[in-house]
Amino acid sequence: MTSPTTPTRERLASLDLNSSPVKHVVTPSRTGTATARGLITQLEQENTRLRLSNQATALAMGTRTRQRIVELQAENALLRARAADPPRTSVRTREALAKAEEENRRLRASAVRARTMSSPSALRALHLMKEVNARFRRELRTIDVLYMLDCTVSMKPWIRAAASKVSEVAHHLAAQFPTYTIRYGFLGYRDFENSPKDRFVEMPFTDRIVDLQAVLDATRAIGNTDDAEDVVGALAKAVKFEWKARTRVLYHFADCPSHFKKFHDGIKDHYPEVDPDGRSSVDAEKLLRKMGNLGVDYYFVQIKKKRTAKMVTEFKKIYDNDAEDRKLQILDLGSDTTKFLPTVVNTIASSVAKSTRCDQTQTLIATYVHPLHPPYTTNIYILHYLTHHPSFPPTHRSILDPDVTILPKIDWDRASEGWGQLIRMESIACNLQRPLESVIRAPLEDLLADHIQAYIRPEPFAKGGVRYALPMFQPKDNRKLVAKTFRHGAREMSRFFEVMATQAIATKLVSEFNRHNPVRPMGFIDVRVVEVRPPEPATGTEGLYFTVEPFIEGEYVRHNNNAGWSNEAKATAQAFSHFSWIASGKRLVVVDLQGVEYVMTDPVIHSVKEPHFGPTDFAQQGINLFFASHRCNFVCAQLNLPPHPLQPSSPLSIATDSLLQELELSGPRQVNCGAVGCPAFVDIGIDGMLGVARTMSDVFCDPCNRRMAVYKSAACDVAGCGVVFKFQPYLWTARGMGRPTVGD
């Protein structure tokens, strides 16, 4: 095992996560006792003036600042009492002088903060920010749902299913989103040979579910003489609906494709080129792009895959846009109409999470000033270090700011040719072989270090409210990775280590969670910190840091956030957040759970003690926000989790809890491969879950297991030893460590 380099160890020693903050003590030069006591008197006089000034502005400060001033006053009174005593030794006098100087510095800083916080402009800005946030919250709590159904004869079972379940769907959504305004609309379509009255059935958006129910009850299935339908005509009407909500969802139920040969193969179609309205496949493209620009989440319910597969493929080519996080989602339900209710409830919850994640994150960060971190700047930021770093050739320097163009596609196959030089960097990871308590107490102790070489493309392929995501490729193990850096604020090493420490604690807690054999296991992908140091001769300068994690393909969904919102349909995720509070000894809660299914990344920790997990750690306030909206579900019951005093008094109904259990049982049982950088998922059966979960960090995919089976021999490096020992090279690589140089 290798350890971090000396410069890295020195910088780690100053991090709050492993040790208490080191106070800087000023040692006075040798001086007489009388002179020192004179200095103490002068400092005391200035301290008194500063205290009076601070008291005058205390009412304009926050509670935390006023409390701190009270503490400083008590400490200063004690100092005055001690300084008034006859000095026993010169050492005592020097100590009193040092404390007085320290107190003076603190009071000066407090006075500056007080004047800043109480200025009229600051108060006006705070008031404006509160108004903006209130408006954001109102806009976020709205949902528009449009059901678009093919209403021909073959779709009769689905028309009846919709009619019988829409009220129940509305009931579940109202219970899950009690503070939201939800509107429903309906658009039934058939074909040109039907009468103008029968060709479309429309009901504008309304929050009256009885109106929707009445329209569906009256809708009949009518046949026609070809196998294609007027899908494009329906899309033309759908984009004209009065979409207003922040979350917009379209459910398209169909078992036949659209007219135009571009969208089908060899079916009977009366209008393969142009329809009676003069539309063609080109108009379909325009309408789909318009739908995407409206911010509508398009879910296609696939009933007869062979018939609609080509249409859906072409629609996705037009509709999907990675830069805007927009994808046409396929719900392959076949003829099983019983899946109507759970599918709609689950996917709407996912759409709500998607539409709120960026806005809420940015709003909360703007309103919450972390006591240990400066607020984020709102200025356009140029990532100077990356764009001018010697490791990156001039042709691959990029400006990263809030308006930067996001890569529409990652050209992984050109990494070794078009991304610049192969960069050597130090890789540092948390040691997850330690016990849970040890990791919670000091996640950055006993770090593991290695050196890797990889290509990093400076242009981001995605951005969130806090960080950019850049493509990274490690050729040695053919690893597709993601390098993340902060969009705003200082990019000092401590911020990156906070992210890694948070992920490490969450990973240990989820391993403990999986030991209890929940309905679905969960996992967090590995996160490490890499440091890119300038090549010779620029040694000695500060390095460039990234957090690095595997590139996981799939749809990322948020299950809860750090401000009290949660998707109750993801019962296992909510139970894990509750579990983290109990398993940590009521010291912290892991929230902001997000990822591909239950393989997650980028969690947030709210901690009871003084916040030290970055600006998204809202301390006790964040813990209270989670529990104030958390209603225990069947997973909480299975784990015997005790309720929190702040939880809602009204529990989940038996029907809702049963639906949640059905949703979770229908999902995949997967965890991520335990090898550092490996993006593979590992399927875990119910029978084998408990045994595997005892060592979740040792769960590997089949390719990694095959590499584990290879042993090599090496001679011990200890002077005078030379004993030959065997080891598994890939096991050390999978742990994020350099190969051993000393045998057991």
Higher pLDDT, 481 or 177: 481
What was the pLDDT predicted at 431?
Answer: 87
SS3 assignment, position 260? coil
User: Could you tell me where the beta strands, DSSP code E, fall in 322-414?
Assistant: 329-332
H/E element holding 139?
Answer: helix 120-140
Answer yes or no: is 9 within a domain.
no
What was the pLDDT predicted at 686?
Answer: 57
What residues are paired with 144 via a beta bridge? 183, 248
Which tokens belong to 319?
């509709």
Answer yes or no: is 75 within a domain.
yes
Q: Are residues 562 and 585 in the same domain?
A: yes
Q: Are residues 101 and 178 in the same domain?
A: no
- Tally: H helices and E strands in the chain: 23, 23
Dihedrals phi, psi of 612, to nearest 5 degrees: -140, 25
Amino acid at 136: F
Mean pLDDT of 269-288: 93
Q: Are residues 196 and 224 in the same domain?
A: yes
Q: Are residues 345 and 453 in the same domain?
A: no
What was the pLDDT predicted at 363?
Answer: 35
Q: Are residues 94 and 170 in the same domain?
A: no
Q: Are residues 328 and 397 in the same domain?
A: no
Answer yes or no: is 606 within a domain.
yes
Q: Which of 238-252, 262-276, 337-351 has the lowest mean pLDDT?
A: 337-351
CA dihedral 627, 630, 635, 636 (to 10 degrees): 40
CATH assignment of the domain containing 513? 3.30.200.20
pTM for this model (two decimals): 0.58
Q: Are residues 637 and 729 in the same domain?
A: no
Tokens 């690893």: give the residue. Answer: 479
Name 392's Cβ contacts closer than 8 Å, sequence gap at least 6.
386, 420, 421, 456, 458
Q: Is pLDDT above 60 for 77? A: no
Cα→Cα distances 482→272, 420, 522, 527, Å: 44, 16, 21, 10
What was the pLDDT predicted at 364?
Answer: 35
Cβ neighbours, 10 Å, residue 84: 11
H/E element holding 110?
Answer: helix 90-117
What was the pLDDT predicted at 65?
Answer: 46
Report pLDDT digits (tens) over 224-259. 888 899 999 999 999 999 998 888 999 999 999 999
Cα→Cα distances 83→71, 98, 190, 288, Å: 18, 11, 92, 78
The rounded distance, in Å, linking the Cα atoms of 586 and 608 is: 8
Q: Is pLDDT above 60 for 372? A: no
Boundary of a domain, candidates 87, 117, 147? 117
The rounded distance, in Å, linking the Cα atoms of 646 and 630 is: 9
Answer yes or no: is 650 within a domain.
yes
Alpha carbon of residue 245 to chain centroid? 23
CATH assignment of the domain containing 183? 3.40.50.410
pLDDT band at 46 (very low <50, low <70, confident <90, very high): low
What was the pLDDT predicted at 336?
Answer: 84
The rounded distance, in Å, linking the Cα atoms of 218 and 485 is: 55
Name 48's Cβ contacts closer than 8 Å, sequence gap at least 6.
none
Count of structural domains, the chain: 4
Q: Are residues 331 and 240 in the same domain?
A: yes
Answer yes or no: is 238 within a domain.
yes
Alpha carbon of residue 205 to chain centroid? 32
The rounded distance, in Å, linking the Cα atoms of 646 and 463 is: 34
Cβ neighbours, 10 Å, residue 76: 22
Instruction: Supply the range of the domain harboring residue 333.
Output: 136-358
pLDDT band at 374 (very low <50, low <70, confident <90, very high): very low
Q: Which of 5-14, 496-505, 529-538 has the lowest mean pLDDT?
A: 5-14
Report pLDDT digits (tens) over 122-161. 556 556 655 655 665 666 688 999 999 999 999 999 999 8
Q: Are residues 308 and 329 in the same domain?
A: yes
User: What's the start-to-end Cα distance of the chain, in Å?
Assistant: 12
Residue 196: burial class (beta carbons within 10 Å; 0-12, 13-18, 19+): exposed
Q: Is pLDDT above 90 for 449? A: no
H/E element holding 588?
Answer: strand 588-591
Alpha helix (H) ranges present in 230-302? 231-238, 281-293
Q: Are residues 682 and 739 in the same domain?
A: no
Mean pLDDT of 453-475: 86
Q: Are residues 253 and 283 in the same domain?
A: yes
The rounded distance, in Å, linking the Cα atoms of 435 and 443 is: 10
Answer yes or no: is 384 within a domain.
no
Name 255's Cβ contacts closer than 8 Å, sequence gap at least 6.
150, 154, 155, 303, 304, 307, 308
Q: Are residues 427 and 572 in the same domain?
A: yes
Answer yes or no: is 380 within a domain.
no
Tokens 């700011």: give the residue. Answer: 401
Answer yes or no: is 197 within a domain.
yes
What was the pLDDT predicted at 19?
Answer: 38
The answer to whether 680 and 596 are in contact (CB under 8 A) is no
The answer to whether 151 and 189 are in contact (CB under 8 A) is yes
pLDDT band at 464 (very low <50, low <70, confident <90, very high): confident
Higher pLDDT, 625 or 406: 625
